[in-house]
Every structure is written in structure tokens, then in C-alpha cells.
Amino acid sequence: MIRVGILGATGYAGAELARILSGHPEVDLTLLTSRQYAGKGFDEIYPSMAGVVRLTCSPNEIDLICEKADVIFMALPHKIPMSIAPELIGRGKKVIDLSADFRFKNIEAYEAAYQPHTAKELTEEAVYGLCEIYHEEIKNARLVGNPGCYPTSILLPLVPLVAEGLVDHSTIVADAKSGVSGAGREATLTTHFCEVQESFKAYKVAVHRHNPEIEEVLSRVAGEPVTLTFVPHLVPMIRGMLSTIYVTVIAGAGLKEIRECLNDYYAPHPFVRIVAENLLPDTRNVRGTNFCDIGFRLDTRSNRLILISVIDNLVKGAAGQAVQNMNIMQGIEQTRGLFNTPFPV
Amino acid sequence: MIRVGILGATGYAGAELARILSGHPEVDLTLLTSRQYAGKGFDEIYPSMAGVVRLTCSPNEIDLICEKADVIFMALPHKIPMSIAPELIGRGKKVIDLSADFRFKNIEAYEAAYQPHTAKELTEEAVYGLCEIYHEEIKNARLVGNPGCYPTSILLPLVPLVAEGLVDHSTIVADAKSGVSGAGREATLTTHFCEVQESFKAYKVAVHRHNPEIEEVLSRVAGEPVTLTFVPHLVPMIRGMLSTIYVTVIAGAGLKEIRECLNDYYAPHPFVRIVAENLLPDTRNVRGTNFCDIGFRLDTRSNRLILISVIDNLVKGAAGQAVQNMNIMQGIEQTRGLFNTPFPV
Amino acid sequence: MIRVGILGATGYAGAELARILSGHPEVDLTLLTSRQYAGKGFDEIYPSMAGVVRLTCSPNEIDLICEKADVIFMALPHKIPMSIAPELIGRGKKVIDLSADFRFKNIEAYEAAYQPHTAKELTEEAVYGLCEIYHEEIKNARLVGNPGCYPTSILLPLVPLVAEGLVDHSTIVADAKSGVSGAGREATLTTHFCEVQESFKAYKVAVHRHNPEIEEVLSRVAGEPVTLTFVPHLVPMIRGMLSTIYVTVIAGAGLKEIRECLNDYYAPHPFVRIVAENLLPDTRNVRGTNFCDIGFRLDTRSNRLILISVIDNLVKGAAGQAVQNMNIMQGIEQTRGLFNTPFPV
Amino acid sequence: MIRVGILGATGYAGAELARILSGHPEVDLTLLTSRQYAGKGFDEIYPSMAGVVRLTCSPNEIDLICEKADVIFMALPHKIPMSIAPELIGRGKKVIDLSADFRFKNIEAYEAAYQPHTAKELTEEAVYGLCEIYHEEIKNARLVGNPGCYPTSILLPLVPLVAEGLVDHSTIVADAKSGVSGAGREATLTTHFCEVQESFKAYKVAVHRHNPEIEEVLSRVAGEPVTLTFVPHLVPMIRGMLSTIYVTVIAGAGLKEIRECLNDYYAPHPFVRIVAENLLPDTRNVRGTNFCDIGFRLDTRSNRLILISVIDNLVKGAAGQAVQNMNIMQGIEQTRGLFNTPFPV
């Protein structure tokens, strides 16, 4: 059994980690930390967990963490992870960070979007934990930067096609839509039920911090700088993310080549499902699961490919992919503890 | 491994059975039937199941059913189960019926609420599958009538108190509220999104067919006829049921006796959780799980007890309790395959 | 034209007042105050109002208020209104207060539920603004205490029957359900979209502050002390309130007498609609309107009457009734500016 | 007073027409027809209308229609309007058709997307009722083809910029999102609450029938053939439509020119609001109103303009614009009967 701790366990991503890890057959969940709720039972914060997760929240203390756990998930606000990670790594722990702190190789891009980086010595070693793409690198990682939810939903359909040169990567537009849980558990006017229900809106148009994260990965894959236009929207639902991606297809490539490329790339990876030709993805089909479903159509008049991907933003977009990273790092089957059957409704 | 078949697998209750049973460690799910979709892949009806449930829907043929499965779940419209069950039982199968056909001992009450009964010879033998209450009888049952969702949510809090004589069973009012999935998958104006969203209403006030079902069980427990006033309502959410039950407390009994009675009764039964004194049940705490959470308050001025229970209508109110019944019938731990961790949101 | 001001115009009730009054043909809306947003355009807070309500928020200053307006609506937190009202009344203004401060004649009951009362000299004069019940008193009022949303929905169906002696007023149970806007615009975990969506729960069981308000009115009508058991619930929708009320009918009275009593009582009052016999009220039928729809059924086995009423909690439950009060106080037709056609969906 | 009839009054668009027209100060609503509900009171179909709209549904008979009304709104399924319109026009009536039958000048495009056209003699005369764009033509029209909801939301932001030559009209991508009421009142699995709630999906990707409608108008404005890529999505809400439109800006044009162009174009038209620079449109800001709100951002790295527009699909996207057309045809102020104050929530 792997002894596992979750730092920041009472936010939505942290609690989702607790959900998945408490049922993982190879995990001994030993530690949940929370600055705000230290000393309280986890099931006082989440009464759904009564009788299921019986831990008390601990403070975020390094010695305690190192004593209790060997694999550590950090579901903390950006900036805190980079202040803790060096010590944890130094003491031989494996770390999976759900913040943006270790997602970037390009520190300037990170610092432009976030703040000064205080653990630059670790960014080169850190592996970008997009499991299906960086599977090999993750195997030997000590430190994984778990991808953002938008980047996950946009990169999974694009990377194989960009790698194969089937699309013109200078023409990418990504129109993405997310459920409200992506905004976290903090009570704000933006997440007030009466402001969200019966409402649909765009936000951070073309300036979202996930933009440079996506571009860094696409540039690495393409071997040259890639920029894209990225617009996120808020959907009145708890979970789910759908990205509609527009990109021009290279002359000569058609639906057949696109399908083959995606099918081949994802054949070894059961969490990515290329949907049947007559279907289109729907966020409800992946709700509560670690799946990413991908479908597509070609607008033949403009030769514009329309890729559509769906994930559960809290699972494949956060906690589920984090556990998948742990599985790969520990040499376990990547689906272990994660392959729950989806809800029909 | 138990070979299991689901008749009527494409309705919501049937599909929920498929969800639970496909992940059950002691079950080999061998058969899904559907009149409407026979010949189609189950994942064509529920694309969420792609790569997870790989069965094709079969027609509802007795020989096929008996060849493929040893335990049979029937998620069929009322009336059909009683035409099939005698043959299945006769051929040595164990049957769990999710319809009302085998819930009643009082055939007159059944026929008044539903239609003429055509398999009366089996109703005496059939066991009412309210797991925590009829645990012993279920162990040896060949045929279980799985309780309705409303009866489950109303009987679990009431039965121990009525049995113990702590409440005046002539004063019961049950005000119940259900999510929309309880109405099934059929497309009707009543389940149209635009008619349900931003709407709340009562229906079948004091004439719902679950009324006599509840009364039959309460009367058996009380040892004399019990009637109650029961009003169901429709909540704009997919899953979840909450019942608010009003009943006068017997002189001398107070909160302490109520809590002890419920705690004692349910101590051996992990799926019923008596919530902490400072909390009240919320349907989201049991969503996607087989839990029934119960809380209560006493209006001391009127000596009226207010019991509040919540279940997921598709799990403890249907498919989950059906699988719990199977576990008990097969001598397996009752939580086997059912004890998933709840979602935090 | 009546010069009207709204104190506390940026909360949900205040903004709903602004919506109604800005379209009222006899009103000149001259003043909106807001402590938090003073100096900002009202349409900066509510962008929906761009081009429609062109006022800038002012601070809550007595001189300014008295200079600008002759009728003043107070949509302020409890306690503040009683500190302002005496001055406004003293300077000849008419005041409609949406808080609880002037709803009670029984000051002890008020102080037990809220806080010490600092303007007791006005409570005797203040009229309880339940328009259809206290129509005559309201005509000459200088100060109206606008009823709470729960009391409105519970009193309108009960008052005629209690007055007429058709029901046993010692047996009342009121099970009420409200949309989320009743909790106001403040961002709290309780109103967070992810905590409300796909959730249903009870709160403040038998201890809600609207309980004594309802009892004071019923006692006045009955001519003796009345207590009731009152349990509020939260529905995942923005607007709407449904109350299911259980009460034993007096021997000899039946559905015919109930219907006649309600029909007669509300014949002069177009905002109360007794629904057709074959129908039941639905909150969507009154959404965005000042209607209260009432339906009922009799459980003949127990002689228990089940009354069901629906209102829009922000309209008939708050701002709409407040404007109706103004109309009556000003001698205008009570439906003036309020009789908008309901939305079909 | 204008005598007005609505054909097909019980669908969502027809009922929304009834809502608006029953409160229109210059309209005498004399006729509601319904094939399905002829003979029934309109308030039996929509109980919200009890006491407000007192008409009984009539059958769809030409003589009756011509006798009762002078202006006729047709909210009927495509194909029926073109079989009725010639007779109505011939008898001197003014007709506003909400179907697609009279939206096209290019009959081939119509027939490819819909079916053979049987009233081609009228298509040349019919005016495309996009009020702010074809204001002058509408004034003298006898027959108006009321625009589709998606075309309205996509054309309003684009037309001024294409007309002015500020954008490269060969680069348009329109990613649109609609509430469920756009699918109509028919009960289907697609509109089942449990299939829509907590779900987000695309449909009819690049093949929606509104595509050629949009292209015909843009081509007329541009003076040369324009094609665009158009992808609609379904949002779990009743009302509202948001379109995110991506188009490359012509060299030399910037945010200032874009804003001036839109501001100038819509200065005379109060129903189109260009939102403040620091804001973005939200469907809730236009819910229940005839407004179209437009905002935009420029992705300077790619010179790609991102236009965002919102409408209420049942109002500006259907019934509201239809009434606006009637106002213009009758020489009434275009906002008459339509300028209701928006709901704050």
C-alpha cells in the first residue's frame, strides 16, 4: 500500500482526490491537511463522507507530512506549492502538484501569468503530467505538474494531429465551456446560484492564464512557436468541460486520416475515447469519470476541422488525472482505482 | 461469480443496475434485455458506457434469460413482472423485481392501486426487500419485491419508532420531494426541461400509489391498521429524494429516546446514517450512493417530531437496494459492490 | 406622479423594486440608495438595466431621501429600518418597510426572534401589509410592515378558512419550499451554485423567524393563540415558493365549503387565483408575477385538508406586494403597474 | 387598436407572442389557433395565463382568421406557412411568419435545407425581418420572414463590420450556444430534463439549417459570397443564446474603429446595446427582454476579433422581434409594448 497525503483537502479538487483515493485499492490515505479547517473531522466539512473518510484535517506542517505520507498531492493555491515542494522532494517524497507552479518550462511565461517563481531549480526536472502524452517521462518523475482543466481538454485532441502535421497549427481557435466547480469552493458573487443559473457568459476572453500553458505544450510538439485564440465560458452546471476547437486541415488530409491518427495515438490509452462517427461528445457521458471523449466534423467548404472534447473538469481535469499520474509514477496500471462505471444520468 | 441478468436494462433504473453490477466484484453481468433496443449495443443507448459495458441488448425471452443468468433483476413496467416471475422461479432462478408486482401481501390493495394480479400464488412467498427491516427474511428469499423509492425514504425513519411505540402512528404526515429521474426515461411534457427547470409542484396529492405500500408495511409493524397522509412533490434536479415526516411523540419520549432508538436499530446497517445532532440531511450527501441519511427535530410546543430522510432515488430507492438485496440473498456482505465514496459536489 | 425612493436598492428585493417601479405608470423613481455601491451607476451593478434604469446609487442620507421622495421603500437589513422610520414618518413621508421591524404588534415576540426594538412607538400604528387581508387598514397607513415571503404564502390560503372556522387551527403543519433568491445576494457557501444545484434540504426546522410572524396573524384572526409547526426547505431554483399546508377540517365541512370560502374571500382580489379543481399550483405559473395561486385536496380518510399555495418570493413575497401596498395607500387600483403577463416558460 | 391573431399559439414561440401581445397597448388580441388544442381555453394549456389571457383556442381556418384579425403572426412548423400565406396576403392581411419559409431569396438554398417551396411568387416580395438592419424595407412590407434565433444573434454583431469592411469576411467562425426552449415544446429524449441538466453538448455541427440563412444575409451585405463555419451547442437553461464569433480584422482597424462602427450603427436602435468596455455580455442580462447585448475583445497576437452577442432566443430571437416587426410595419414606435424592465435575477 502506498501511503498518501493530500494538502488542501477541503477545496473541491482536494475533496475529489479524497473521494478517489479513499477507494483506491493500493492506497492508504493517511493525511488530509487544511489551513482553514485543521482539527475538524473531514466529514464535518463534507457530511457526505460520514462513515467513509474518517480522517481529521491536519495543519500543513512539513514534518507531519513527511512522517505520514510517501506520495503527496498538493491541491493548494498557486504560489504555496513552490514554497513546499523543494523540501518534500529533498526528503525523498514524490509530489503531484495540481497548481500551475510546476507546469511551465518557460519561467518567463509563468511569471508573466502568475508571479515570481521561487523554486526554479525544480522546474526543469518537473514533468508536465498530461498522462497520455508524457507517459514515459512521468514514469520516472519525482515531481509532476498536473495540467489545468482547459489545457487537458484542448491538448488531448490537438497534440496527435499537430505532431502528425495534419493541421495548420497557426489557425487554432479554442472555444471552451466549463461547469462552475472549476471556480472552486470559495463563495463569490460569480458562483452565487442566482447569478449562474439560467445564465451563460464568456470570461477572461483571450487573456486566461491557461493560454500560455497550452501554447507551451503545443510549441514543444510542433517544434516551433504556436499561438492560439482561447475563450472560456461558464455553463450553469456543476461538473463538465467541453472544448470546441477550430483548425484548418493540411491539404490532402481528410476525415479518414484524422480518425486514424487519433485512433492510433490513443489505442493504448483507455481513458481517451474517440466517439463513434455518428455521435458527438456530451459532458454527461464523462461525468464523475476520468474519461476524455473526442469527436469531430470537417467543414469541407472551408477545410476547417471542428474537434470536440469533453472531460469532467474535477476528474480528468484535476483529481483523476493526478491519481493517474500517481499510478504511472508507481508502476501501477494507469486505470487502477479510477475505472468506475459512469452514471447513466 | 454470480451470473446476473437485467430485464429492462435501458430505463433509468435498469441502466443504474448495469452501472452498479458491471463494477460488482462478485458479479458476471451476462445479459441485458430491452424490448425497444434489442440488437443494439448498450453503449449506443448510453454512450457513457463505451468501453465499460460491452453487452448488446437482447430480447426478453425466457429461455435465453434462463440460460444466461442465475439471478435476475426485473426493471420492467408494472404488470409484466408477474407474467414472467412464476416461470423464472419455477426454473430455479432467484428474482429481484423492481416493480410493485410483488411488494404487497394485501392483494386487494395492490389491485385497487394497479391492476388484477395474475400470480397471486407467489405473493405470499415474496419478501418485501426493505433491506434493513426485513434482513432475515431476505436471506432465504427466492423472490424479492424491491420497495418503491418513496416507501424506502419514509419507512426507514419511521419503522423503528413505530415498532418501539415512541410515536403515535395515527398522526403521520409525509411530505416528500423527488428528483425527476423518478419519472423514468420516457419523454413527456412533465419531464420536459423547460417545464421542470425553475419549477416546483406537488402531484398526485394523497392519491399516489406508494401510499398503500407504505401503509401495509407500517400496519404490519404496528400490529394494527395505519393510515398516513402522503404528498409527493417534484424537484428540479435529476437525482435525490427527501421526505419530511411529521408525527406526534408519545408522552414521555423525547429527543434522547428517539436518537437512541434509531441509533440502536441501525447500528448493524452501514447504509443508514443518523446524522450528527447539529446537522440536517441534504440529498447531495447521498447522491450516487446507497446511503439513507436521517435527521430530526422536535417541535416541543406541539410535541410533534419532524423526521427528515434523504436517499438517491435511483440507488437506495431502486437499483442500489436491489443489489443490496442480491448480496443478502447470496450470503455476501450487504455493502459489497455498493460502498462507493460519495462525490463532494 | 408619485416620487418614490428605494433604500437598499442593490439587494435582490431592492433591485426587484427598481424593476417594477421603473415601469410603473404613476411613479417617478427618483432615488436608489446603497451603502456598498454609493456613487456607482445602478446599471454597473445590474448590467441588465443599461438604458432602462439610469439612476446613480446614493448614500442613505435622511435629508437627501426626504428631498427626493414622498414614498419610501426600505429594503434594508432588519434593525436599520427602525432607526430611520421615525424620522421619515415625522417628516410626512409614507414608508413601506420590507424588513421584519414593523410586522409585529407583539414586541416580545419580535425581540425574541430578532433584537431589541428601538421604535416601539410606531409598532402600534404600523399596518401589516398583507394586502388582501388588511386592505382597509392599509388604505390609511403611513407605515406598512411588508410581510415575509413564507408568511405570505402560508397566510393567504389559511386566513379565510380560520376566520370562517372551517379548520381546526390547532393542527396546522406548514411544509414550505423556497427558491434561492430568498437568501439574498450575499455570497455564502449556502448559496454557492455547486452546493445548491442537484441538492434539496430543510433548514431552520421549527425555529425559523417567520414562525412567530405567522402565528401572530393567525392568532389575531382566530381570536385565540395559534401555534403551528413550520419547516422551510431550499429548492435549486432562483425564484418561487410553494407551501404545502396540512390542517384538519371541522366536522361537516367538505371540499365544497372550502372552495366557496376561498372563492368568496378572494373574489375582489385578482392577485389571488384559486386554481381549477383538476389542477394544482406550480411555482412556474407565477414566476415574475404578483399572483398567489392556491389549490387543495382533502384526504377523506383522516379529514386532513392539504392546501397548496405558490408565489414568486421576490414579487408577491417581497417587492410586488410592497408596490401593491403603495397602490392601496395612494388610492390607486391595486394592480396598477403590477399586472404583467406571466412567461409561458 | 390593431386586431391581431396568432396561428400556432400553444408552442413556446406562439405562447411568448401571446404574452407580449396581450400586454401591448395598441393591440387587440382576437385569435389564438391551435390544431392540437382547438376548443380548449388557452389557460388550460398555460395555467399561468389564468385571468390574463382569456381566449379559447380556435382551429386554423382561413375564413375565421381573416374575419378576426388584420395582422397575423404565424408560429407554425416550416412548410405550413407557405401554404397559407398567399391567401392571407391576397385578402389584404399583413403577415409575420416565424418559420423559415419566407426568410430566403435564394430558393435553391431554402429547398436544399428544407423542402420544395410552394409559394415562390411571394419570396421576392417578403422582407427579411432583422429589424435593425432592414428597418426601411420592413416599413412597407406586407409579408415578413422573421429571422431565426441563431441568425439574429450572429448577424447583429457582424453586419455593421462586414458592411464597413472592417473584418475579413472569409474567416468567420460562429460558436453559438442556446437554451433548451429553442427546441420547442415537443417532448423528446433530447429535451428530457435528466438528459439536459448537468450536460453540455454540440449538435448539427456545421450542418445546421440556420447556416445558409446567415450566409445569404452576409453575402448580400458583403456584395460577394460569404461562407462561415457555424457550430450550435445546447446549454442547460430555459432561455438565452450566446454567440462567440471569431473573425480576422482588416489591417489598420483596431478596437477603436470596431467600437465606433457598432456604436454608430446602433445609435438609433435601443434594443441593441453595445456593452461597456470593461464588461462582457451575459444571457441573464437580456432574459425576458428584446435586447441584444454585444461585447468584444481583440486578440492582438492573431488580429482576431472576438465578438460576443446575447439575446433571449424566445424574444429577440423569435416573438419579440416579430412584434418589433409589427410595430415597424404599422408605423408605431419600434419599442412599443416591448420595453419591459429586465429581471435583476
DSSP assignment of C186-227 equals ---GGGBHHHHTT--EE-STTT-THHHHHHHHHHHHHTS---
- Chains touching A by CB (3 or more pairs below 8 Å): B, C, D
pLDDT at D281 over 90: yes
Q: Answer whether residue C345 is part of any domain.
A: no
Q: What is the average pLDDT across C297-303?
A: 95
Q: Answer whether residue D341 is part of any domain.
A: no
Whether C193 sits inside 8 A of A238 (CB atoms) is: yes
Query: Which residues of chain D lie closer than 8 angstroms to A236, CB-CB?
Result: 235-237
Work out the minimum CA distance from D277 to partner chain C, whole angstroms.
12
Work out the minimum CA distance from C180 to partner chain D, whole angstroms.
11
Together in a domain, A244 and A106: no
Query: Which residues of chain D lie closer than 8 angstroms to B189, CB-CB?
Result: 185, 187
Whether C12 sits inside 8 A of A194 (CB atoms) is: yes
Whether C193 sits inside 8 A of A196 (CB atoms) is: yes
pLDDT score at C250: 97
Whether C246 sits inside 8 A of B297 (CB atoms) is: no
Give the alpha-carbon dihedral of C164, C166, C167, C170, to 10 degrees. 50
Query: Which residues of chain A lie closer than 8 angstroms to B283, CB-CB?
Result: none
Q: Find the closest chain A residue to C238 by CA distance.
A: A194
Q: Answer whether residue D284 is part of any domain.
A: yes
Q: Find the closest chain C residue to B293 by CA distance.
A: C201
Identify the helix (H) or strand (E) that includes residue B195: helix B193-196
pLDDT score at C206: 86
CA separation, residue A83 to residues A62, A80, A116, B165 (Å): 11, 5, 12, 61
Q: Are strands B272-274 and B292-299 parallel, antiparallel or unpaired?
A: parallel
- Chains touching D by CB (3 or more pairs below 8 Å): A, B, C
Together in a domain, B82 and B211: no
- Chains touching B by CB (3 or more pairs below 8 Å): A, C, D
Q: What is the average pLDDT across C66-75?
A: 98
pLDDT score at D143: 98
Whether B191 sits inside 8 A of D196 (CB atoms) is: no
Identity of the amino acid at B310: V
Task: Decide if D2 contacts D71 (C-beta within 8 A).
Answer: yes
Of C57, C149, C261, C292, which residue is the catalytic one? C149
Residues 6+ apart with CB under 8 A from D175: A175, A244, A246, D231, D233, D243, D244, D245, D246
Q: What is the average pLDDT across C46-50?
A: 96
Query: Which residues of chain C lie closer than 8 angstroms to A188, CB-CB?
Result: 187
How confident is the model over A32-69, as pLDDT tens digits?
A: 999 999 999 999 999 999 999 999 999 999 999 999 99
Work out the minimum CA distance from B287 to partner chain A, whole angstroms.
9
Sorting pLDDT into bands at 50, 70 and 90, what band is D327?
very high
Task: Decide if A35 contacts A104 (C-beta within 8 A).
Answer: no
CA separation, residue D290 to residues A36, B122, B319 (Å): 46, 63, 46
Question: Phi and psi (nearest 5°) for D34?
Answer: -160, 120
> Which three cell numbers, joined as nine digits, stand for A10?
477541503
Task: Decide if A57 contacts A40 (C-beta within 8 A).
Answer: yes
* Residue of B15, B181, B344 lying closest to A15 (CB–CB): B344
pLDDT at A334 over 90: yes
Which of C12, C21, C101 is closest to C336 using CA atoms?
Answer: C21
* Residue of D195, D229, D306 lying closest to A231 (CB–CB): D306
Whether C192 sits inside 8 A of A197 (CB atoms) is: no
Task: Decide if C99 contacts C8 (C-beta within 8 A).
Answer: no
Whether B198 sits inside 8 A of C306 (CB atoms) is: no
Residues of B belonging to the active site? 149
CA C79 – CA A24 distance, rounded (Å): 53
Question: Phi and psi (nearest 5°) for D214?
Answer: -65, -45
Together in a domain, D287 and D320: no
Together in a domain, C110 and C208: no
Whether C48 sits inside 8 A of D286 (CB atoms) is: yes
pLDDT score at A38: 97
Whether B282 sits inside 8 A of A46 (CB atoms) is: no
Whether D238 sits inside 8 A of B193 (CB atoms) is: yes
Q: Find the closest chain D residue to A192 by CA distance.
A: D345
- Chains touching C by CB (3 or more pairs below 8 Å): A, B, D
Q: Cell match 434594508: residue?
A: C76
> Which three cell numbers, joined as nine digits, stand for B20?
452498479
Together in a domain, C228 and C90: no
Q: Bridge partners of A49? A: none
Handedness of CA B46, B52, B58, B63 (dihedral sign): negative
Together in a domain, C12 and C142: yes
CA separation, residue A81 to residues A7, A70, A99 (Å): 9, 16, 7
Q: What is the CATH number of the domain that holds B293?
A: 3.30.360.10
Together in a domain, B176 and B223: yes
Task: Decide if B193 contacts D191 (C-beta within 8 A).
Answer: yes
How confident is the model over D48-91, as pLDDT tens digits?
A: 999 999 999 999 999 999 999 999 999 999 999 999 999 999 99
How confident is the model over A113-154, as pLDDT tens digits?
A: 999 999 999 999 999 999 999 999 999 999 999 999 999 999
* Residue of D47, D181, D282 lying closest to C279 (CB–CB): D47
CA separation, residue B109 to residues A187, B126, B217, C333 (Å): 51, 16, 12, 54
pLDDT at D206 over 90: no
Together in a domain, A232 and A282: yes
* Residue of D19, D270, D339 lying closest to C341 (CB–CB): D19
Whether C187 sits inside 8 A of A185 (CB atoms) is: no
Whether A199 sits inside 8 A of D283 (CB atoms) is: yes
Sorting pLDDT into bands at 50, 70 and 90, what band is A320?
very high
Q: Answer whether residue B67 is part of any domain.
A: yes
Query: Which residues of chain C lie closer than 8 angstroms to A187, CB-CB?
Result: 187-189, 191-192
> Which three cell numbers, joined as nine digits, stand for C258?
372550502
Percent of chain B with pLDDT over 90: 99
Q: What is the average pLDDT across D268-276?
A: 97
A69, burial (CB in 10 Å: exposed 0-12, middle 13-18, buried 19+): buried
Q: Which domain holds residue A271?
A: 150-313
Q: Answer whether residue A341 is part of any domain.
A: no
pLDDT at A248 over 90: yes
C64, burial (CB in 10 Å: exposed 0-12, middle 13-18, buried 19+): middle
> Which three cell numbers, joined as nine digits, stand for B187?
419523454
What is the overall mean pLDDT for chain B?
Answer: 97
pLDDT score at B206: 86
Query: Which residues of chain D lie closer than 8 angstroms to C16, CB-CB?
Result: 343-344
Query: Which residues of chain B lie closer than 8 angstroms to A48, CB-CB?
Result: 284-287, 289, 342-344
Q: What is the CATH number of the domain that holds B121?
A: 3.40.50.720
Task: Indicate the angle between helix axes D255-266 and D149-164, nearest 10 degrees.
Answer: 120
CA separation, residue A211 to residues A108, A118, A153, A165, D173 (Å): 14, 22, 12, 21, 19
Query: Which residues of chain D lie closer than 8 angstroms to A214, CB-CB?
Result: none
What is the overall mean pLDDT for chain C?
Answer: 97
Together in a domain, C62 and C192: no
pLDDT at B320 over 90: yes
Residues of D belonging to the active site? 149
Together in a domain, A157 and A206: yes
Task: Decide if A182 contacts A210 (C-beta within 8 A).
Answer: no
Q: Cell match 432467484: residue?
A: B94
Work out the minimum CA distance from C160 to partner chain A, whole angstroms.
34
Provide DSSP, B280-311: --BGGGTTTSS-EEEEEEEETTTTEEEEEEEE
What is the overall mean pLDDT for chain D?
Answer: 97
Q: Answer whether residue D156 is part of any domain.
A: yes
How confident is the model over A287-302, as pLDDT tens digits?
A: 999 999 999 999 999 9
Identity of the amino acid at A319: A
The reply to whether the predicted model has a pTM over 0.90 is yes
Together in a domain, D84 and D106: yes
* Residue of D19, D198, D340 lying closest to C344 (CB–CB): D19
Report the number of distinct structural domains present in chain D. Answer: 2
Residue of B153, B175, B289 best to disrupt the C interface, most CBs of C under 10 A: B175
Together in a domain, C202 and C168: yes
pLDDT at A206 over 90: no
Query: Which residues of chain D lie closer than 8 angstroms to A237, CB-CB?
Result: 197-200, 236
